[in-house]
């Protein structure tokens, strides 16, 4: 999809990090950008920052885990902008570190509510109008964890695998329907963002206390810090994603130094298939 003046892009989780960088890059291309986020003050600051750079920008407070709220958001965008050309389902949370046996129902409900249902709600609420116009592009932001399986992030890893599979299903359905709308799923590695601090937005009803001993958590955090290395700048990620959109890439990878992790998983699948021959 060629990005150009006059198009309208919707970006969820746009008040900071990857979402803000994507909105900024799209606005720099001349697109009207509609920001959504659950954090009111941060969202207004993001809107003001982009507007100050001459970008046409609108902002809506929206909890993507709330189906009715996303429906209302989509209706408001169509009423105001008349269309949506690019939908970026970026909103996501990191969940809580620890082994699976220490996880609690609230951890799963919160992580899947935002990371999976947030994407599903975005597709359900925005895609019908795009289908009527027979034009557009849907981008779902997953994670490299959606193609691998790092330990101690069970709910997050499972949710990002779900986003990848959801995106594959959506792309296949659109192709079978003869629709020109394309789908991309982004699977980045470590990027500068506030996802590690996402517990700040966890609903009180889903709040839980960690069952993992503090000393164990400290070792897990140290291991992640050593393994992840220096995070990518959000602006660099955004540029890679925009290139992927314009080249109609389905799977957008951003960290070539981590490709070996995906290849190792694929090798396991390949060995299993050869064992069945």
Catalytic residues, by residue number, are 156
H helix or E strand, kind and range, residue 9: strand 8-12
Q: For residues 37 and 59, what is the distance between their CA atoms, to the nearest angstrom?
A: 8
Q: For residues 112 and 97, what is the distance between their CA atoms, to the nearest angstrom?
A: 15
For residue 206, the 8-state DSSP code is G
Instruction: Give the Cβ contact number of residue 195 at 10 Å.
Output: 18
Q: Which residue has the tokens 């070539």?
A: 256
Q: For residues 70 and 117, what is the distance between their CA atoms, to the nearest angstrom?
A: 11
Q: For residues 23 and 11, what is the distance between their CA atoms, to the nearest angstrom?
A: 7
Q: What is the DSSP string of 57-115?
A: EEEEE--TT-HHHHHHHHHHHHHHHS--SEEEE--------B-GGG--HHHHHHHHHHH
Q: For residues 41 and 53, what is the distance between their CA atoms, to the nearest angstrom?
A: 19
Under 8 Å CB-to-CB from 167, ≥6 apart: which residues? Answer: 140, 142, 183, 184, 185, 250
């Amino acid at each position: 999809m060629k990005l150009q003046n006059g198009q309208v892009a919707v970006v969820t989780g746009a008040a900071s990090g990857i979402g803000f960088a994507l909105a900024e890059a799209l606005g720099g291309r001349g697109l009207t950008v509609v920001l959504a986020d659950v954090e009111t003050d941060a969202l207004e600051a993001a809107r003001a920052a982009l507007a100050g750079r001459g970008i046409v920008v609108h902002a809506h407070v929206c909890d993507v885990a709330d189906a009715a709220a996303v429906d209302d958001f989509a209706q408001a965008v169509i009423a105001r902008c008349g269309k949506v050309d690019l939908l970026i389902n970026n909103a996501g949370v990191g969940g809580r570190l620890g082994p699976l046996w220490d996880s609690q129902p609230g951890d799963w409900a919160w992580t899947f509510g935002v990371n999976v249902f947030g994407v599903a709600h975005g597709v359900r609420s925005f895609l019908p109008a795009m289908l009527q116009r027979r034009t557009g592009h849907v981008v779902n932001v997953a994670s490299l964890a959606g193609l691998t399986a790092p330990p101690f992030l069970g709910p997050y890893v499972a949710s990002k695998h779900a986003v990848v599979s959801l995106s594959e299903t959506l792309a296949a359905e659109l192709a079978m329907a003869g629709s020109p709308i394309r789908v991309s799923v982004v699977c980045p590695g470590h990027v500068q963002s506030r996802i590690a601090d996402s517990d700040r937005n966890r609903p009180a009803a889903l709040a839980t206390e960690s069952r993992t001993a503090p000393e164990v958590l400290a070792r897990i955090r140290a291991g992640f810090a050593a393994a992840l290395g220096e995070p990518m700048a959000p602006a660099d990620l955004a540029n890679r994603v925009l290139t992927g959109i314009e080249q109609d890439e389905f799977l957008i990878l951003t960290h070539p130094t981590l490709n070996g992790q995906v290849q190792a998983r694929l090798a396991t699948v390949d060995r299993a298939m050869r064992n069945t021959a």
